[in-house]
Amino acid sequence: MSGAYRAEAGALDARIRAVIAAGTLDAAAFDDLACAIFAHQFHWNAAYAAYARSLGIDEARLPRTAAAIPAVPAAAFKDAALCTVAPSEAAVWFETSGTTQARSGRHYLESPALYEAALLAGFDRALLADGARLRYALLVPDPRERPHSSLGYMMAAVARERGDGPPGWYLREDGVDLDALAADIARAHLDGVSVCIATTAFALVALLDGLERAGRTLPLPPGSRVMETGGFKGRTRVVSRDELYRQAAAAFGIDQAQIVAEYGMTELSSQYYDSHASRGSARRVKEPVPWLRPIVVDQAGRQLPDGVVGAIRHVDCANRSSVVAIETEDLGAIVPGGLVLLGREEGAAARGCSLDAEDLIRR
């Protein structure tokens, strides 16, 4: 790494960390910061620069707004090392979704510091606004077994920095270790400590199925909460989120508003969470942290007006050492306060008699 690189990266990291610490960023400042990060990546991230150049961008015509920054498709992480430093110099890498496809990609991070600052600040805003120090019961991949799971890394960091002690990990190869979880919940009751269960949607279904089979519930101590993340793609059992939350609230003896969905991707350093205002409503709004902005685009990549459904693009200023703008196949619409995610059933009707990619994944 050259001195010039170190200086540039260090200055940007300092700007981003200042924004994270302040917890606020207006629209113009967001554009300014995102474009500065893109300019940095255009210079130092060869694969991203090649893609941007193929779209007509050069040093004299750099984007001036976040919406104009070329977004890399999430699948690109499988085809190239998208990093401002050589992969061998990256401190951390996370494996991108290989759950339903054979090949996975890697999200390289030059340093974990920015990632941890971003994820902790986001978690604090969404789940720890009351300053609670919770005991973490984790139904996500254990980093000791899957060191390149971004979700496992994230929750380990949260538990380490915000927990009342070592977390419990209950996800096993054959499902959820219900007995161990129940014993630890019982201990939390005795200790008078609130619990945060962080779980994938699929693990939550497995847990609820296990409780039902055992004919029991698992009431949590007062003040406890649940963070749920992820979907059911490629899974054999699909449950509507409303139904899942209803069952979970009943099993844990908590209000549904205490169940908070996180929406993120391995390719991002920042996350969305259900906004506080929407947690009591049927349609939850995913609120970005101030240094993360969703943009909804049409099939030509053009930005759509608020309220119109399209593909979601994320501009994440905490992705300083990888790619600032990422394009997904997820559907959503911008609404006041954030983003509403839409499932297939909420989009326009499918048409034709052709097989589609989703059918193939299910087979």
Partner 1 sequence: MRAIADAAARWRDADFPPRVRAAVAIERRLGYSQPVVDVALDRLFGGLTAAALEAAIADELGTLDALDGFVERPGRPPAWARATGAVTIVSSDTTIGVAIPALAFALAAHCTVTVKDRSDDLVAAFAETLAEELPAFGATLSVQRWSGGADKRESLVLGAAAVVVAFGSDDALLAIRARCAPGATFVPFGRRASAGYVDRAALAGDAAALAGAIARDALLYDGDGCLSLHLLYVERAADGAHERLVDALAEACADAVVEFPPGRRPPERAARAQAFAAAGAFRAAQGQGRSIRAADGAWSIVTDPPRDQPLPLGAGTLPVIFVDGIDDAAADLRERGIPLQALGVAAPGAADVTRLAEAFGAVRIAAFGSMQDPPLAGRHGGRARIADFVRWVDRA
d(CA 312, CA 156): 28
Could you tell me which of 312, 314, 349, 316 has the C-alpha nearest to residue 333? Answer: 312
Q: Identify the burial level of 62 via C-beta atoms within 10 angstroms of its C-beta, where 0-12 means exposed, 13-18 middle and 19 or more buried.
A: middle
Determine if 236 is a binding residue for partner 1 (CB under 8 A): no
Whole-number minimum distance, CB 141 to partner 1, in Å? 22
DSSP secondary structure letter of residue 12: H
Closer to partner 1 by CB, 24 or 54: give it: 54
Relative orientation angle of helices 201-214 and 178-191, to the nearest 10 degrees:
90
Decide whether 47 or 132 has the Cβ nearer to partner 1.
47
Instruction: State residue 257 phi and psi, 5-degree precision.
Output: -70, -15
Contact status, residue 41 vs residue 84, Cβ threshold 8 Å: yes
Cα distances (Å, whole numbers) of residue 225 to 98, 109, 119, 194? 29, 30, 18, 8
The least CB distance from residue 241 to partner 1, in Å, is 17
**E-assigned strand segments in 83-139:** 92-95, 106-109, 135-139
Residue 67 or 309 with smaller CB distance to partner 1: 309
Which of 6, 53, 172, 283 lies at the binding interface for partner 1 (CB under 8 A)?
53
Measured in degrees and rounded to the nearest 5, phi and psi for residue 260 equal -120, 125
Counting contacts by CB under 8 A, is residue 28 touching partner 1?
Answer: no
Residues 324-353, one symbol each (x = binds partner 1 by CB under 8 A, - = not), give ---xxxxx----------x-x--xxxxxxx
Quick check: 311 binds partner 1 (CB under 8 A)? yes
How crowded is residue 161: how many other Cβ atoms within 10 Å of its Cβ?
12
Q: Which of residues 86-145 bind partner 1 (CB under 8 A)?
A: 101-103
Task: Candidates 197, 310, 317, 334: give the one binding partner 1 (CB under 8 A).
Answer: 310
Residue from 9, 33, 74, 85 in contact with partner 1 (CB under 8 A)? 74
Strand partners, 138: 169, 198
Say whether residue 78 binds partner 1 (CB under 8 A).
yes
Would you say 66 or 203 has its CB closer to partner 1? 66
The CB-of-302 to partner 1 minimum distance in angstroms stands at 9
Question: CA dihedral defined by 292, 149, 96, 29, rounded to 10 degrees?
Answer: 10
Nearer to partner 1, 144 or 302 (CB): 302
**One of 6, 187, 216, 362 touching partner 1 (CB under 8 A):** 362
Residues that bind partner 1 (rule: CB under 8 A) add up to a total of: 49
Q: How far is the CB of 284 from partner 1 (least distance, A)?
A: 19
Binding to partner 1 by CB under 8 A, coded x per residue (else -) over 263-302, reads ----------------------------------xxxxx-
Min. distance of Cβ 73 from partner 1 in angstroms?
A: 4
Tell me whether strands 259-263 and 272-274 are parallel, antiparallel or unpaired: antiparallel
Cα–Cα dist 276/59, whole Å: 42
Q: Which residues bind partner 1 (CB under 8 A)?
A: 47, 50-51, 53-55, 71-76, 78-80, 101-103, 297-301, 309-311, 327-331, 342, 344, 347-357, 359-363
